[in-house]
Amino acid sequence: MEKTHLSHPAEKNPKRILYFDYLRMIAMFAVIILHVSAQNLRAVDIASPAWITFNVYDSLTRWSVPVFVMISGSLFLNKKQPLKKLYKKNILKLLIIIILWTLIYNSWRALLSNNHFTITDFLLNLATEPYYLWFLYMLIGLYIIVPILQQLIKNKKTTQYFLILSFIFAFCIPELLEIISLKSNLIAEVINGKIEMMRIFMVLGFTSYFILGYYLHNHTIKRKTEILIYVAGITGALFTIIATTLSSYFKGELITIFYENLTINVAAMSVAVFVFFKNHLNHTISSKRYKILQLFSRCSLGVYLIHVPILETLDSIFKINSLSFNPLFSIPALTILILFISYVISIALFKLPLIGKWIV
């Protein structure tokens, strides 16, 4: 795969990064838990035992998407490739996957609902992608600016300056304004309007996670700093749970402010998970075990593409969902089932000759 300072002696391809493979698998598991726990989050009363359980599971897995972005940043910003290859190999593949899975997902939804599927529906499907494919669009946006970001990260102090600005303008201020808006929407809008006039778009969005992943991967974290990162991560997780509970109870409806990817609490969790895997799960394993790990890691994208249709199919056809029994147990049980089915399908699709790599 991509260039790295951390080679693995047991693998045939020494360019793979072991802890990234572990991260992809655990992050994929977390994504499914997130979607399973969110399935009926709005269908139950706030502060009911089921709602509290859903909220806890949902809150504790909010780091999953940022970690995927951090892995991508680590890999893409560490390698040099021609602009033509970037578009032909990476961006084109994502565009093809978006088109294919938009058609697959919407066609499957039509079959589940017993709707007559016409040519018009087929064409409309091209313009109505599944909600969870937003992640791929976001990656395309990041890939487009990779050559620019590679120039930015050449200087360590410039990289740090970018991350500081991003922390302030992409995380701190927006989350603070969201909290203020719970009490006074007018004040929040006035402050936000002034900040928007500055138009500091470059340091906003997921670019921060993209560069942060590269930075953490390529720089050693001191032990004291590492401990502080873990404390911040645990604090962020607890804050997400408690703040979501209190704000939702206060408003009488689900408040998702603290679930957002670009919040301080989610960023703290994401950094803690990334650093932990980098520092403690990059050890040597046997070649046989590594081949299995590599296959499952490689099929993580396929699992992401497949898991939502599986989740909806289990609910629609088999009436199996997060409320089938106690959510404390139904969420992990359903997650494992969906993960297993998704991996089986993903691996099968991946092994298809010629077209496998373009499907998943």
pLDDT tens string 18-33: 999 999 999 999 999 9
Long-range contacts of 36-41 (CB under 8 A, 24+ apart): 36/311, 36/322, 36/331, 36/334, 36/335, 36/338, 37/61, 37/322, 37/327, 37/331, 39/311, 39/315, 39/321, 39/322, 40/321, 40/322, 40/323, 41/254
**pLDDT on residue 12:** 43
pLDDT interval class at 9 (50, 70, 90): very low
**pLDDT on residue 225:** 97
**pLDDT on residue 353:** 86
Report the alpha-carbon distance of residue 223 to residue 275 in Å, rounded.
11
Q: What is the mean pLDDT of residues 122-135?
A: 79
Say if residue 326's pLDDT is above 50: yes
pLDDT interval class at 117 (50, 70, 90): low
Q: Above pLDDT 70, what percent of the chain?
A: 92
Say if residue 126's pLDDT is above 80: no
Report the alpha-carbon distance of residue 302 to residue 294 in Å, rounded.
14
Name every residue whose Cβ is closer than 8 Å to that of residue 141 and which is 6 or more positions away in sequence: 205, 206
Q: Give the residue, 230 or 1, on which the prediction is more confident.
A: 230
Q: If you ran DSSP here, which 8-state letter would residue 90 be given?
A: I
Report the alpha-carbon distance of residue 171 to residue 139 in Å, rounded.
19
Q: Which residue has the tokens 């099968």?
A: 348
Question: How confident is the model over 35-74, as pLDDT tens digits?
Answer: 999 999 999 999 899 999 999 999 999 999 999 999 999 9
Winning range, highest mean pLDDT, from 188-192, 200-204, 275-279: 275-279
Say if residue 260's pLDDT is above 80: yes
